[in-house]
Structure 1
Amino acid sequence: MGRVEQDVMYDWNNIPRRVTVSSFYMDETEVRNLDYREYLYWLSYVYSSDYRFLYREALHDTLVWRERLAYNEPMVELYLRHPAYEQYPVVGVSWVQATKYCEWRTDRVNELILLREGIIDKYIAPHDQAKHFNTDAYLIYAENLDLAVDETGKGPDGKVQNLYVDPATLQAGRKGGAVNTGEDRRWVRMEDGIFLPRYRLPTEAEWEFAALAHIGNHYREIIYERRLYPWNGHYIRNDSRGEERGLMMANSMRGRGDNMGVAGALNDKADIAAPVKSYWPNEYGLYCMAGNVNEWVMDVYRDLTFEDMEEFRPFRGNIYTDYEVIIDPRSGDIELTPEAENYFDYSGKILRKPVRDEECYSRENYTTSDNRNYLDGDLESLIPNGNAEEYWVKGDRYEFESDEIKVNDPVAEGLTAENVGDIYPGATLMSGGNEILLPNGIKVDLQNMTYILPTGHEKTADGNILMPDGSMVLPDGKLQLADGSIIYPDQFFKKSTPGMYQEGNWGEYGEWGFGQFDPSNPKINKGDGITGEQMTTLVSDRSRVFKGGSWKDRAYWMVPCTRRFLDEKLARADLGFRCAMDRVGSPIIED
């Protein structure tokens, strides 16, 4: 993978290198408006009452069509909803929304498989969000979907509910002997081979491999001609000998102001995106891998990733998580934590949490849950192992270094000697106004954003730091006083990170310059360099790669090796996605 075209943008972000990807499946087309509307309808039906916000979060941004000096209101109003566009690729979908669509699709397909096999009942609880089918919830918490059976061992509609421990028991029941009860049944497990792997976005390496489709350009393990586009040749027109010669191979912007040619002779026959099965598929049978709309991939963007990426299944963006559950060490019973229980009650899903660093610090292959920044060249990636123990809780990171605990949040404001005791009982504001002395002896350095611990503290086996007076510093940065009361870090520090974008807040320390939006001076809001506020880099842990070129891009961006990035919560009018799935077992189809 890597550059096959001249780097006219001088990005130097995709040097050619040889990698291997496992066999996988990919949608032959981009996800259509029709598909996404089905997803929206399901959400509106299941979450129709108390948790409507889950539906609203999935609504794509139709306003991406608007341009300051163009009239695109018909697209805003009609592109998603009108039947004329149902076969067109969905756009205006963020990376986060696309990922959640993949999760939903996984659940619906696995639910359909269980329905087809007669294992669960259809329409279990159509308006009960906690009881709709979710693959993870079924595997961990399946009793939530378990329905009572009658004396014949069958469910309300006559179908067998779940799997039986011993098929012979079922036969005995039919002959008048023992019948199946709830005790005789078990839930489907992954070992049964019924469930399909998860749908997901393809990795950048997978997407590029699928787009180039070199299957017809190799001989005895030698690729004798690297492709520039998903087809042979160096042209965006069909150069074959025949009636199709000269036809456009993909939907792109041919030149300035030229979206589709001239009246009476439209070249690509599309002013915006075209239906998903327009033009010729590549040799893998995939449509529109160049042009039409750009496509999201899973990877976090770093321009130097190619220097350190793995040779096998390369991907940047791993955050290792585990289920938020409590497992009884004796019986093995699984119980949801209170937070996970609350999440399950309104979403029907099992909450996942980042793996704690103390659970993986001794591993050879990884030592922290969040590896998006691994070897990306910044200071954070250069911290030697052992000098800092990182704890990730709900996206906030705290570093415990020797006798100091550093909290990566900016300084809180508004504290005075008069009100500090009201906010933190028993606390004293030290001289200079930059330190708070807590009753347990901990000093909170507001300027350097650290907790300075008193002498005599010790670290317990469960990761807590015990103070001489019996109070503790918990691994997530909370302070538990001797009386059991909790002081949270956000009581001292604002929850934002310098130089990083924060949702819903332009942020004094955010990417967009000033802390408050000023409608009278839009330039200041993004940092104009005059008032001292500079816009920082847009490359962050939420910058995701998209590829492929679109109806509004020049042909250069249709080359599969080119790469761009966008914040995972933003969207564009020329950006869609398609799903991929891992192939399990042999990488080839056995005869």
Structure 2
Amino acid sequence: MKILFTKTALGLLALGAVLSSCSKREQSQKTGITYNDKNNGGYERFRQSHPSPGPGLVPIEGGTFVMGGSADQDITYDYNNVRRRVTVPSFYMDETEVSNQDWLDYLHWINITFPQDRELYYNAVPDTLVWRHPLSYNEPYVDNYLRHPAFQDYPVVGVTWDQAQAYCSWRTDRTNENILRETGKLVAWKDQGKKGGGGDAGIAANGQPFNTDIYLNGQMTGAGVDGKKMMPNLSPNAQAGTGKGGKAVRPVRMEDGILKQAYRLPSEAEWEYAALALAGNTQFENIDDGKMYTWNGLGVRSAKRKTRGLIMANFKRGSGDNAGVGGYLNDKADITAPVRSYAPNDFGLYNMAGNVNEWVADTYRQTSFEEFEDFNPFRGNEFSNKRMADPSKGLYAKDKYGKPIKDPAHSNKKLKYSELLALQQQTTAAQSANPNAPLATSQTGSLPVDSLLPKNSGKAYTPDARGEKDEVNKALYGTTTLVNDHSKVYKGGSWNDMAFWLNPATRRFMDQDEASAEIGFRCAMTLVGAPEINPNGKPHYPVKKAKPFKAR
């Protein structure tokens, strides 16, 4: 009886707390207007929260570190990783490399969504011929590595930098679509094939697949798309909708904090920072011990009792030694190993050394470390804007796959509305001639936008800032050097590399449309909001709530 009374009392207290919180709506700190009240204009304020990572990701708390600092020698004499202290913001990163099964999911979606588009499917298939060598019998890997279930948990290889970027874009849309369908903001998966419930899996009523940008712009809504639990629309301009009791509803907005940020390749700085995982050696901002590899110590064998003597990663121990002696293999692998092999580093990331090298987002330059920005260093920016199909309605132009068409950015600042309208009018003819082609920039002379930009803006703006500080003759790229704007960085070492390349500071490059049996990738995601991942147990300055305003 006493237990029952206690539970009842606690329930009543909880109910009272909920009712009390509902009766005290938040107010604007600057106007006093109550938020989330449909009677005063429907101003909305959403619960401020620390976003959770997307599927497969783990949080990486950022901070300062010496980029290139773990390198102890320069055996290649490249002088391309000069030590440089930088700050990396907090972000999310894949716990493991992208596996063959992950890539087969991607291929399956393409096959069921665009069954007639053989070119799209063909372009997404990895180059399995990367296993083929004139003096090695690797044909079984050519035929089996990608698709045989024995290799399903092994890292995907033969993937170009361009293909990895396309996978990141696809993964973003599928993750956000799944969130919306599972929470009732879009038609549920089980209702997709039903009458009035959209088409096949992943196909909206307009015959195009879900795209995050198009959805957030309000271009993916209506019968057969809207779910049963859409967001309430508090705007006084909203019309009665499909909500319960005919209440007005709306699609999810970025302000709701429901959708995830875009999956992408990590920057070189993010990758190196995550691989080092110095957070495990840090106390009160003091780093107790540096690292040469992703683990502590100078050796490559485990010192723990249960695994003593075992190799800590999948790499080539010496010339001709990819596996060890039969009967007691040193790293338990000959080529790649499953993506969860070996112990994770102090951030919880697997195989940040060995197994496969990994693509990062950066364009390679030998002098990047000397020219990087101190905060969030990255080299590879190609700034773009989404093309408008109907400027008066704010609608984006879409390609045949339902993605927004992006054009090179014309300015590094927000244009005046009159300038924006004039620019859009000048590009209408070009859009009509070739709807999917990116529009030329002012540097080509094909689009006279310079006259529309603010005066005294200095030199002409270029949306391609990859080589912005490279004082070289770009006509010689690819002729006198292998380095060009298509050269992308990869890091980490592979199953076929010596231990030197396991050092997180080492870096190499390859053309973005080439592939290798020794290169895979993993995805990252930007963390928005406060950078501190685990604030519990740490000192903080108290933050007082704003005093409520009372109209008199």
> TM-score scaled to structure 2, two decimals?
0.70
2: CA distance, partners of 1:249 / 1:172 = 59
- Shift in Å at residue 397 of structure 1? 6.8
The amino acid across from 2:333 in the alignment is: A
In 2 relative to 1, CA 80–174 (structure 1 residues): closer, same or farther, beyond 3 Å? Answer: closer
Shift of 1:179: 2.2
* Corresponding position: 1:32 with 2:99: yes
Residue 25 of structure 1: how far off its partner (Å):
1.1
Residue 131 in structure 1 maps to residue 222 in structure 2? no
Query: Partner of 2:168 in structure 1?
Result: 102
Query: Which residue of structure 2 aligns with residue 453 of structure 1?
Result: none
Q: Is the 8 A contact 1:125 1:131 kept in 2?
A: no
Pick the aligned partner of 2:489 from 513, 530, 545: 545
Flag the 1:172–1:110 CA change in 2: closer, same or farther, 3 A: closer
* Equivalent AA in structure 2 for residue 571 of structure 1: A
Q: Distance in 2 between matches of 1:585 and 1:459?
A: 36
Report SS of the residue matched to 2:501: helix
TM-fit CA distance, 1:360? 7.3
Aligned to 1:258: 321
Q: CA deviation at 1:167?
A: 11
Which one of the candidate residues 124, 141, 146 is aligned to 2:222?
Answer: 146
Map Cα deviations across residues 252-273 of structure 1 (whole Å, 9 max, x no partner): 0011100011111211111100
Paired AA for residue 252 in structure 2: V
| Per-residue CA distance 1:127-183 (angstroms, 9 max, x = gap) | 8585211101111252x442259xxxxx6xxx51633314999999999xx624xxx
1:462 to partner: Cα distance: 4.4
Conservation of the 8 A alpha-carbon contact between 1:133 and 1:145 = no
Secondary structure of 1:347's partner? coil
Check conservation: 1:125, 1:132, Cα contact below 8 A.
no
Q: Measured at CA, do residues 569 and 396 of structure 1 come closer, stay the same or move farther in structure 2, by a change above 3 Å?
A: farther
563-572 vs 223-232, greater mean Cα deviation: 223-232
Q: Any conservation in 2 of the 1:292–1:550 contact (CA below 8 Å)? A: yes
Q: Is the 8 A contact 2:211 2:402 kept in 1?
A: yes
After superposition, the C-alpha distances for 1:432-452 in whole angstroms (9 at most, x for unaligned) are: xxxxxxxxxxxxxxxxxxxxx
In the TM superposition, what whole-angstrom CA distance separates every residue of 1:277-313 from its partner, at most 9, and x where no partner exists?
Answer: 1111111111110000000111110010111111110
Equivalent residues of 2:442, 2:450 under 8 A apart: no
Alignment pair present for 1:75 and 2:138? no
Say which of 222, 233, 242 aligns to 1:165. Answer: 233
Instruction: Tell me the residue number matched to 1:438.
Output: none
Instruction: Kindly indicate whether the alpha-carbon contact (under 8 Å) linking 2:233 and 2:249 is maintained by their aligned counterparts in 1.
Output: yes
Identical columns (%): 47
Compute the displacement of 1:5 (Å). Answer: 1.7
CA distance in 1, matches of 2:158, 2:449: 49
Specify the alignment match of 1:441 in structure 2: none
In structure 2, the CA distance between the partners of 1:562 and 1:358, relative to structure 1 (3 Å rule), is: closer
**Alpha-carbon distance change, 254 to 125 in structure 1, aligned in 2, over 3 angstroms:** same
Q: Which amino acid aligns with 2:93?
A: M
Asked if the contact 2:100–2:151 (Cα under 8 Å) also holds between the matched residues in 1, the reply is yes
**Map of 1:569 onto structure 2:** 513
Match of 1:47 in 2: 114
Task: Give matches, 1:205-220, under 5 Å.
Answer: 205-220=269-284
Amino acid at match of 1:552: N
CA contact (8 A) 2:406 2:438 kept: no
The CA deviation string for residues 5-44 of structure 1, in whole angstroms up to 9 with x for no partner, is 2111111000111111111111111001000100010011
Query: Following the alignment from structure 2 to structure 1, what is the Cα–Cα distance between the partners of residues 277 and 176?
Result: 29
Residue pair 1:252, 1:259 contacting (<8 A) in 2 also: yes
Matches within 5 A, 1:343-354: 343=399, 346-354=400-408
> Does the 8 Å contact 2:336/2:356 carry over to 1?
yes
Contact residue 302 and residue 310 of structure 2 kept, 8 A: yes
Conserved 8 A contact 1:323-1:351 = yes
The residue that corresponds to 1:488 in the other structure is none
1:49-72 superposed Cα distances (whole Å, 9 cap, x missing partner): 2x3322221111101111111111
User: Which amino acid letter does the alignment assign opposite residue 199 of structure 2?
Assistant: A
Q: Distance in 1 between matches of 2:411 and 2:75?
A: 43
Deviation at 1:459, TM superposition (A): 9.4
The aligned runs of 1:452-491 (5 Å cut-off) are 461-462=451-452
Query: Structure 1: which 5+ residue stretches go unaligned?
Result: 150-154, 363-392, 408-457, 464-474, 477-496, 501-510, 512-534
Offset of 1:335 from its aligned partner?
Answer: 3.5
1:170/1:179 contact within 8 Å kept: no
| Matched residue SS, 1:288 | coil
AA matched with 1:101: Y
Partner of 2:387: 324
Contact 1:137 1:350 in 2 (8 A): yes
Question: 2:254 is aligned with what amino acid?
Answer: M
**Contact conserved, 2:230 with 2:243, CA < 8 A, in 1?**
no
**Counterpart for residue 282 of structure 1:** 345
TM-score after normalising by structure 1 = 0.65
Q: Partner residue of 1:309?
A: 372
Question: What residue in structure 2 maps to residue 243 of structure 1?
Answer: 306
1:330-479 correspondence runs (5 A): 333-336=393-396, 340-341=397-398, 343=399, 346-357=400-411, 394=438, 399=443, 461-462=451-452
- Once residues 347 and 449 of structure 2 are traced to their aligned partners in structure 1, the CA distance between those partners, rounded to angstroms, is 57
Change (3 A) 1:460 1:554: closer
Q: Is contact 2:183-2:229 (8 Å) kept? A: no
Distance 2:415 2:72 in 1: 42
Task: Show the counterpart of 2:158.
Answer: 92
Q: CA distance change for structure 1 residues 222 and 126 in 2, over 3 Å: closer, same or farther?
A: same
Give the length in aligned residue pairs.
417
- Alpha-carbon distance between aligned partners in 2 of 1:349 and 1:30, rounded to the nearest angstrom: 26
Secondary structure, counterpart of 1:40 in structure 2: helix
Provide the C-alpha distance between the structure 1 equivalents of 2:134 and 2:222, rounded to a whole number of angstroms. 54
Match of residue 522 from structure 1: none
Q: Shift of the alpha carbon at 1:356?
A: 1.3
Q: CA RMSD in A?
A: 3.1
1:42–1:563 Cα change, 3 Å: same
Q: Give the alignment partner of residue 23 of structure 1, picking from 65, 90, 96.
A: 90
Match of 1:424 in 2: none
Counterpart contact for 1:126–1:132, Cα < 8 Å: no
Match of 1:298 in 2: 361
